[in-house]
């Protein structure tokens, strides 16, 4: 009697675990490789936007230099995570392979721009603030274009 | 006049004491992804925590004993141990998150790595617990936490479309970019954050520390019932700031730097500095409370001498527990784990452990052998039962939702 109950319990747990795993697959990896690349782009864009706004605030004297420096540090980590996520996506075909490379490249550019802003804040760069902000803006446009393209890809 | 000032102080303390690292992280994340469509959870959690905090304070005031002592005696060592295990582990996780919160807030003001701040913050917590009077500790630190009202000021300065914000509150919707399960995962997180168990343990033990009389219970009830809702409003205003500034740009909040971005945008350096003071104070206050709560739970369960009203040498094991808890907290953070992630996990596990911490309080509050004729009334029991059902649902749903959504990823 006891063993029958135990078997039923094990079965119920297995069903629950199976259902959970299926649901996990539905959500965290939804959209297949294009969906995963889109999420990496989204993360990189969040980082780029945050740095852009914080840097603008610093130029306008609206934030503390320490806060802007911390923002860059945190967002660089985000961009690097996004880059890692994008480059480890398993692709199904050659077209997706090309897209993955372009996404990883665009996110690498985001990370590189954040490092440039960090150099500017540390006074170890000759780049102008205006130019850095413009580059961040164009990088975000590139990320958005790739995001749209992935949205329309099969 | 002194009475009025005392009341005001208590009220301000309750407002400042409501908010901790969980609110600072989760509210901003929720605001940037769901706008104000989860504000209802804060209100539900607020009512719940008010009900159980008051109940626990009343149990202590009537019986003159802390809740944990009675729970073990009334429900036996087995259920008592389950209650202790759940409360202590959540306290430990919360404490680690709060120490991390202090370090991250100080990093924003200094750009010094949080890993350098963590041991200093823990040492400061120990020093304050060791040296500072309980009344000062309980009233002064949360008072500075009131500076977080800067988030509310920022909402007004941002001049949002109030109609749109109110619609998000009144007609909650999940945006097409988000999955329904993610919405519910964050609902559970916010609920856990509002009903963090350490608040109940701390409140009940504070009643013993300060030898509350019936008059003080009434005053403290007033403070909580008026102060916590204002604290909840500040909490919602953190989400509102993120909803107004970050949500239109699809920013996923992953750090405290993004939480303060809207504040600097409209309030400049001055408002940002005020909010940073509030963040350090709120996390420091919550760290003090959760550290003490860890000492209280263990000492009360094992029947050790405890409390700040005793000299440290008279409550040596209580103070040793506090030191060990702080060292474990430092150890957890020094593994390199992201304090923001620790916070996110702490609030979900808070929700999961809620039945183990809240059910025994309800049982004791209905036991005439401890409460005499001051047992819960029908209305209060009705509300408490509804909340137990909510707590149970949140508890059961917590882990599956965390797995399904990849912890809200």
Q: How far is B271 from chain A (nearest CA, A)?
A: 9
pLDDT over 60 at A1, yes or no? no
Q: What is the DSSP string of B26-80?
A: IIHHHHHHHTTTTHHHHHHHHHHHHHHHHHHHHHHHHHSS-HHHHHHHHHHHHHH
Determine the angle formed by the axes of helices B378-405 and B180-194, rounding to 10 degrees: 130
Buried/exposed code over B85-96 (b: 16+ C-beta within 10 A; e: otherwise): ebbbebbbbbbb
Q: What integer is the mean pLDDT of B219-223? A: 75
Residues in B whose CB is inside 8 Å of some CB of A read 107-111, 179, 181-182, 249-252, 254-255, 257-258, 260-261, 264-265, 268-269, 272-273, 276, 400, 403-406, 409
pLDDT over 70 at B298, yes or no? yes
pLDDT over 90 at B9, yes or no? no
Determine the angle formed by the axes of helices B67-110 and B197-209, rounding to 10 degrees: 110
Q: How far is A62 from chain B (nearest CA, A)?
A: 4
pLDDT recorded at residue B86: 83
Q: How far is B168 from chain A (nearest CA, A)?
A: 23
Chain A residues 29-58 with CB within 8 Å of chain B: 30, 39, 42-43, 45-46, 49-50, 53-54, 57
Contact flag B264-A50 (C-beta cutoff 8 Å): no
Residue B2 CB contacts under 8 Å (≥ 6 apart), including other chains: none
Task: For residue range B73-132, list pLDDT tens digits in order.
Answer: 877 888 888 888 888 888 898 899 999 999 999 999 998 999 999 999 999 999 999 988
Task: For residue range A59-102, list pLDDT tens digits in order.
Answer: 999 999 999 999 999 999 999 999 999 999 888 888 888 989 99
What is the signed CA dihedral for B233, B238, B241, B246, rounded to 10 degrees? -150
Tokens of B187: 């609902």
Q: What integer is the mean pLDDT of B1-12? A: 59
pLDDT recorded at residue B201: 82
Q: How far is A153 from chain B (nearest CA, A)?
A: 17
Say how many C-beta atoms besides its own lie within 10 A of residue B354's C-beta.
Answer: 27
pLDDT recorded at residue B221: 77
Say how many C-beta atoms besides its own lie within 10 A of residue A22's C-beta.
Answer: 10
Of A16, A64, A78, nearest to B109 by CB-CB distance is: A64
**Does A66 contact chain B (CB < 8 Å)?**
yes
Q: What integer is the mean pLDDT of B34-40? A: 93
Task: For residue range A16-36, list pLDDT tens digits in order.
Answer: 555 544 444 445 556 788 888
Q: How far is A82 from chain B (nearest CA, A)?
A: 12
pTM of the model: 0.87
pLDDT over 60 at B385, yes or no? yes
More confidently predicted of A11 and B325 = B325
Q: What integer is the mean pLDDT of B297-307? A: 89
> What gap in Å lies between CA B94 and CA B92, rounded to an integer?
5
Q: Which residue has the tokens 């605030």?
A: A57
pLDDT recorded at residue A24: 47
Lowest-confidence segment of B44-53, B168-177, B215-224, B370-379 by average pLDDT: B215-224
Q: Considering only CB atoms, which chain B residues are within 8 Å of A110? A: none
Determine the angle formed by the axes of helices B162-170 and B39-63, rounding to 10 degrees: 60
Q: What are phi and psi of B272, to 5 degrees?
A: -60, -45
Any idea what the Cα angle at residue B343 is, between residues B92 and B395, rounded to 5°?
A: 80
pLDDT recorded at residue A69: 95
Q: Considering only CB atoms, which chain A residues are within 8 Å of B273? A: 64
């Amino acid at each position: 009697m006891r063993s029958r109950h135990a078997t039923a319990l094990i079965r119920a747990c297995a069903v629950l675990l199976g259902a959970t795993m299926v649901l996990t697959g539905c959500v965290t990896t939804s959209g297949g490789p294009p969906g995963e690349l889109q999420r990496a782009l989204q993360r990189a864009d969040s980082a780029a936007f945050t740095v852009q706004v914080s840097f603008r605030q610093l130029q306008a004297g609206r934030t503390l230099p320490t806060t802007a420096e911390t923002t860059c540090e945190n967002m660089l980590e985000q961009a690097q995570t996004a880059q890692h996520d994008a480059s480890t996506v398993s692709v199904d075909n050659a077209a997706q392979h090309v897209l993955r490379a372009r996404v990883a490249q665009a996110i690498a550019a985001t990370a590189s721009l954040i490092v440039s802003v960090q150099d500017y804040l540390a006074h170890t760069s000759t780049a102008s603030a205006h130019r850095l902000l413009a580059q961040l803006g164009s990088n975000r446009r590139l990320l958005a274009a790739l995001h749209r393209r992935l949205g329309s890809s099969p | 006049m002194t009475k009025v000032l005392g009341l005001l102080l208590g009220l301000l303390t309750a407002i400042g004491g409501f908010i901790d690292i969980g609110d600072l992280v989760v509210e901003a994340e929720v605001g940037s992804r769901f706008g104000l469509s989860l504000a209802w959870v804060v209100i539900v959690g607020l009512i719940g925590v008010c009900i159980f905090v008051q109940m626990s304070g009343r149990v202590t005031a009537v019986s003159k004993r802390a809740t944990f002592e009675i729970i073990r005696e009334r429900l036996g060592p087995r259920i008592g141990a389950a209650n202790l295990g759940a409360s202590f582990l959540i306290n430990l996780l919360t404490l680690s998150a709060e120490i991390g919160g202090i370090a991250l807030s100080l990093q924003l003001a200094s750009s010094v790595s949080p890993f350098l701040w963590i041991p200093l913050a823990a040492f400061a917590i120990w020093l304050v617990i060791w040296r500072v009077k309980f009344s000062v500790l309980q009233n002064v630190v949360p008072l500075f936490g009131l500076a977080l009202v800067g988030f509310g000021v920022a909402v007004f300065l941002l001049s949002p479309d109030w109609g749109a914000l109110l619609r998000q509150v009144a007609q909650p919707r999940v945006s097409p970019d988000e999955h329904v399960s993610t919405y519910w995962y964050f609902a559970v997180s916010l609920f856990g954050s509002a009903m963090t168990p350490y608040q109940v343990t701390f409140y009940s033990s504070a009643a013993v520390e300060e030898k509350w009389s019936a008059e003080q219970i009434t005053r403290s009830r007033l403070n909580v019932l008026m102060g916590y809702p204002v604290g909840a409003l500040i909490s919602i205003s953190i989400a509102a700031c993120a909803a107004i500034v970050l949500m239109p740009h699809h920013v996923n909040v992953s750090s405290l730097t993004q939480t303060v971005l809207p504040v600097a945008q409209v309030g400049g350096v001055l408002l940002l500095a005020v909010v940073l003071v509030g963040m350090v104070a709120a996390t420091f206050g919550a760290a003090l409370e959760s550290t003490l709560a860890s000492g209280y739970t263990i000492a009360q369960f094992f029947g050790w001498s405890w409390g700040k009203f005793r000299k440290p040498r008279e409550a040596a094991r209580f103070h040793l527990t506090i030191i060990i808890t702080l060292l474990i907290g430092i150890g957890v953070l020094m593994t390199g784990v992201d304090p923001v992630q620790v916070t996110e996990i702490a609030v979900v596990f808070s929700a999961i452990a809620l039945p183990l911490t809240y059910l025994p309080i309800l049982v004791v509050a209905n036991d005439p052998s401890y409460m005499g004729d001051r047992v819960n009334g029908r209305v209060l029991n009705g509300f408490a039962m509804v909340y137990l059902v909510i707590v149970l649902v949140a508890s059961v749903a917590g882990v599956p939702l965390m797995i399904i959504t990849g912890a809200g990823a």
